[in-house]
Structures are given as C-alpha cells and as structure tokens.
Amino acid sequence: MNKEVLSDWDGISLIVLFIIGSGSVTISGLEAKQDVWLAVIISIVIALPLISIYARLQYIFPSKDLFDIIEICFGEFIGKVIIIFFTLHLIAIEATILRHHGEFITIVGLNKTPIIIIIICFSILSAYVAKNGIVILGRWGKFFILIVIFLTFIMLCLLIPNMNINNVYPVLSNGINPILQGTFKILVFPFSQIIVFSTIFSNFKRKKSPYKMYLLGLLLGGVIIFVTSLSVILVTGVNEASSSYFSTYTAVLRTDIRVLERIEVLSSVLFALGGFVKISVHLIAICIGISKVLDYTDYRLIILPITLILINITYLTWDSTMDFFEFDRTVMPYISFINRVILPIIIFIIAEINRGKLSGKIK
C-alpha cells in the first residue's frame, strides 16, 4: 500500500520538526518545577531504548509499517481490532493538536476570529500535503528544518539578557517525585509521539535507516527541547511558566530589543511550521490505519472525508479552552502511554520471541 521511499535526512527533518513544534510556544513537564531541565534529560535517556524498539520492529520486518507488524504479530482479526483502537488514539491526538493550534492563534492573535476557521485552514492545508504523499512532506521538512533551527537559535539568543540563573535554584528542592512526574509527561509528549512515524514509514534507503532516523531525530529534537525548556524557566521562573497555557510564548514576550519589534512572531512561526508537520503526519497515519482495516489499496482516497470528520471532532469535543487544556493535561497522557509505550513493548516482545515463526508471514 505504502511504497513511498523517504531519504534518511528527510525523515530526520520531519522528526525534529515534529518534536520541537509545540515547544516553540509551550513546554511540557512543568510538574518538575524549576527542575524541568533535569526531567528533559531523564526523559531523553528513557526515550532512547523506547525509540530503539520502534526502529527494531521495522528492522525485523522490512518494508512493513507498524499496522502491518501488528497484524503479523497478533493475527488478522485481533490485529485489526488493535489497529482500530490505535487509530482511534491517533484521531484523538490529531484533534488535540488541531485544537491546540486553534486555541493559540485565537488567543494570541486573531481573538475575534472563530476558532473553527483556524481549524479548517490548518486541516485543508495539511490534507493537501497529505494527498501529495510522504515524500513531498519529507522534502518540505528538509527545506524548512534549517530555517526552523536558525529561528530557534535567534529566539533563544534574544532571551539571554532576561535570564536569571536564580530561577533554577535550588536544584531538587522538591524531591524526586515532581521530577518523575515531569519526566513522564515529557516522555509521553513529545518524545513517544515519534511512534506515529512507524505507521507512515515502511520503505527505507537502507535496512538500518530506521535507527538513524529515529535516534538522531530524537537527539536533535531533544537537545532543542532541553535548551528551550531551560531558557523559559530562566526567563520567567517556574510560577509564571506554570500559570501560562503558552509558556514559551510568554517568555519571548519578555524580549526587549529596540531595533526589533514583535519578536514573538518567531515563536508563532515555529509553532505553525512544527504543528503543520504534526497535523499532516497524523492525518496520513490515520488514513493508512483506516485503509488497513477496510482493505483499501491507497490511503489518499479517504483523506478528504477523514479531514472533514476530524474538523468536526476537533470543534465539537470541547466546550471551552479550559475544558480542552484540562483534558489534554489529565487524560491524554495516560491514554498515550498505553498506546505509545506499553503496546510497542508488547509487540516487540512477541516479535523477538516468535521471530522465526513470524518471518514466514512476511509477504
């Protein structure tokens, strides 16, 4: 079904953009308080073996995506049931990403524009790119990754005059539990989200390409998340960062450069570019998952109807901004942990134990 071949650097670019997108306006793991930078480091260390599992599965089953691997490991019937639940999880994630972007643009910029307009614009643009395929999205990512990294560097450099080293002291003053809570949130969002790429990547230039793409993408994106999170805490302090829906954007607003005005636009641009990648990748993954269940030969055939359904789900699910952020903070991390951490580990164990038997099922 999915025979598109992505180069290693195209895939790495998409993963990095995917990871750092939301971090340009908000940071995850503030449960760790001023030790959030330490939680980022720990979550990267934990994420490395987890991401290696994603890569290992695609190394064991060449030319297969995660949906194919699920069917191979669990059989056709149980496999399709698991695919349905996993796809529903992707739909929920897609809806939260779309709503997050709609809320941000509505709150900080177009506060008189109905949020549904923002959601429709992002959805249609992402559907257009998804229709053109993963390869086109990868080339787009490779072009924009240098721009995004450059803008991120400029934005963080402009924050330096407003940084206060006292904002990260005292270290470990709240004990280890808050750090573990922050580590859990960061692991779930954004690092474990990389699993979605295993549903859209199936054909690689080289057999070991999954390791290079996933691990290097994680490390590059993780370093940027670490620097961004530390910078936000140094600028705003943990109390202000925790009380804001968009903590990074709030920190950028502190920048006072006379020759530059509206520098917070950089944060918005980075958020839009990263979000565009997230929305497009999840849309493709959802359509591939539904196509597997329905035995369609081309996921592109259902992109438009699925996009229209997602627009309605995104708009109608939450009654207010507060309802959305409460759901995103309290419910989604645990649902995501089951689908993005527990499930891959189970698949990995089954694949390794029964590797000889399962190899015969690969067509």
Residue 45 scores a pLDDT above 50: yes
Asked whether 138 and 7 are in contact (CB, 8 A), the reply is yes
Mean pLDDT confidence for 289-296: 93
Confidence of residue 261 (pLDDT cuts 50, 70, 90): low
Q: 3-state SS of the chain?
A: CCCCEECHHHHHHHHHHHHHCHHHCCCCCHHHHHHHHHHHHHHHHHHHHHHHHHHHHHHHCCCCCHHHHHHHHHCHHHHHHHHHHHHHHHHHHHHHHHHHHHHHHHHHCCCCCCHHHHHHHHHHHHHHHHHHCHHHHHHHHHHHHHHHHHHHHHHHHHHHHHCCHHHHCCCCCCCCHHHHHHHHHHHHCCHHHHHHHHHHCCEECCCCHHHHHHHHHHHHHHHHHHHHHHHHHHHHHHHHHHCCCCHHHHHHCCCCCCCCCCCCHHHHHHHHHHHHHHHHHHHHHHHHHHHHHHCCCCHHHHHHHHHHHHHHHHHHCCCCHHHHHHHHHHCHHHHHHHHHHHHHHHHHHHHHHCHHHHHCCCC
Residue 257 scores a pLDDT above 70: no
Amino acid (one-letter) located at 354: N
Q: What is the separation of C-alpha 49 from the centre of its chain, rounded to a whole number of angstroms?
A: 18
Confidence of residue 263 (pLDDT cuts 50, 70, 90): low
- pTM of the predicted protein model: 0.93
**Per-residue pLDDT tens digits for 100-145:** 988 988 888 778 889 999 999 999 999 998 998 888 888 888 888 8
Percent of the chain with pLDDT over 70: 93
**Per-residue pLDDT tens digits for 18-27:** 998 766 678 8
Task: Identify the CA nearest to 108 among candidates 247, 242, 279.
Answer: 247
Q: How far is the C-alpha of 57 from the C-alpha of 73, rounded, in Å?
A: 11
Confidence of residue 358 (pLDDT cuts 50, 70, 90): low
Specify the pLDDT at position 254.
73
Amino acid (one-letter) located at 152: T
Specify the pLDDT at position 262.
58
Specify the pLDDT at position 23.
66
Task: Identify the CA nearest to 190 among candidates 214, 222, 165, 158.
Answer: 222
Cβ neighbours of residue 344 closer than 8 Å, sequence gap 6 or more: 50, 53, 54, 57, 195
Query: For the chain, which domains are there?
Result: 5-347 (1.20.1740.10)
Residue 158 scores a pLDDT above 70: yes
